[in-house]
Structure 1
């Protein structure tokens, strides 16, 4: 690490001509700021006004005492006097006001908190905010004030809403396609009675695949691992004779973990149905465990003879997709061929 000179030259913008001030570098921020002497107030105001976030300082009772210039602009507040001294929670819609109250209560006992909430501007412009609320302590450790920093995340929120809308539309279209395919299979079975059993099994599998696709896009509530794996396995192995997944631990999975597992298991089963053990009607095994809040899931299947010596599945686009998704969920995924079998290993936090 490069050495930092103990004496730094700082120029402070104020109403006075630019002044060079010699400041002794210290780790303690109070001492550092205090080194600016009579210019401390101007320096702090200038720094706060440079932030693109809405920076507010509240008294211990949660009343607004300060809001930086860019914050007033983003909140479309023309005159600070209209909000000065008002309880901060009263500036929020009722459904977000409780979150604000909880954050203020936490700050008073020395805890920081963060949340996202909707709040229109003073002129009614709809906006979403990412809010960090922290206590401001004195030298004795007591809470002198509360710092609230709100970042405008409206564009990100709108982008997520658009993606969610598109995902639901894709799910609707895909389910319709599965439903139509299943109906065609059943109609064909009625025309050719000798194929009716096959047609019924095909329609059942298509319905199962539709349910798996639903888990990828809209997993809904939390789900336990055995139920999720059994539901996906049934879509690819209706008779329950090929995918062996008994004895899985009853791990409670969060929504994002459900989505990731549905993706990975669906991809692995699809590949097996196309190229591997499921295609050849050979059994495969799924096992899992939990360590320090991380799910560790293993998929093992006998390697198809036609794939022996072939390009590793770790070089395919499906593997890269599963690996990217695992990393996006603070997990990991790997797959390899060894000792005549294909082995995949997934790790993901269960509480996502």
Structure 2
């Protein structure tokens, strides 16, 4: 062994002294016996104590002192690595955990170059470096990356990247492919990415991209537009892009894509609902003004005027409550008739069971309810319901795509004559269902008849 030590020291590379002087780590010289199993440290640098926690003399005296530092989980792997190094001239690197005498767990990296020894064994010239901080940083970065990937997965965002080094290609994440309905791992070019944009949004998309890529300082940009999937489905997406530039110009674009179709659909529904509410409010005000004007003409006293107005407003309120309670759910015509006509004694009405098969919703319910209330009021004052024998029948006369015709027919009442002037009822008959159907009426001698054409849900 003495000859081996003298030979090794005579041919000692100067890098150990340099590494020791610069505190790069613990330079070492390790001898592997010809059997490939026995080993002994021949030299250790001065940083041995702060890095490994034991003085170099202890390891030089007995190499087992170093072996005892190694984590049990890594010992078998290091033995395999040592056996492979024994028969090779290549540079080798091994990373392992050690537990210092005080109990502190650290990571070290052992890098060595192998050369033959005069006794048939191998000499390993190397360096031991503490890599605990870099390991912890790598673990932290891995954890952060995993959290980021989980966050992206939970938000269902796609990720894309373009780089100047490969200007024709755009890299997509798996969920990016899912958002665009493209099979995974399909090569994506810039032209293919542009081709996904809806034709009506292409000009806006091109303008936004051009403005973003020309910005001197780069920056972050957000764009919402429609895309067309390969199967023809149209979706809304929101793109967040980060533009990077350098002295040579545009360097890279990184971005995320979020499918916002449901949000856009909800916003559109809300806009429609607001317009619908405005439309309903306008219609209601128009009807209310007409009610007051007609009641004022017809009433002889303040009490009669009050009764007329309250009666008609009450009917309108009940029909509004009925439509609101539905909350968009269709209501069968038969059910609507039963609720509106109940105050007029349903025993005088013959309602066709077929009306159960026709459903209504929205403004049509309110307007038809108001119209039916007026028809019943007129029948009670002047028509079939003004006598005990009188009856009113309501039947389903015809049905076409999206529409039904309901007949209101009175019989058994006094002779009917057309009114000498147009009152509220006449005006309501001609205008109530404008935009929601139509009404034709006939003042037949044997009883009033009206054909109500209304839309169905």
TM over 0.5: no
**Structure with higher RCO (Cα < 8 A, 6+ apart):** 1
Tell me which structure has the larger Cα radius of gyration. 2
Normalising by structure 2, we get a TM-score of 0.35
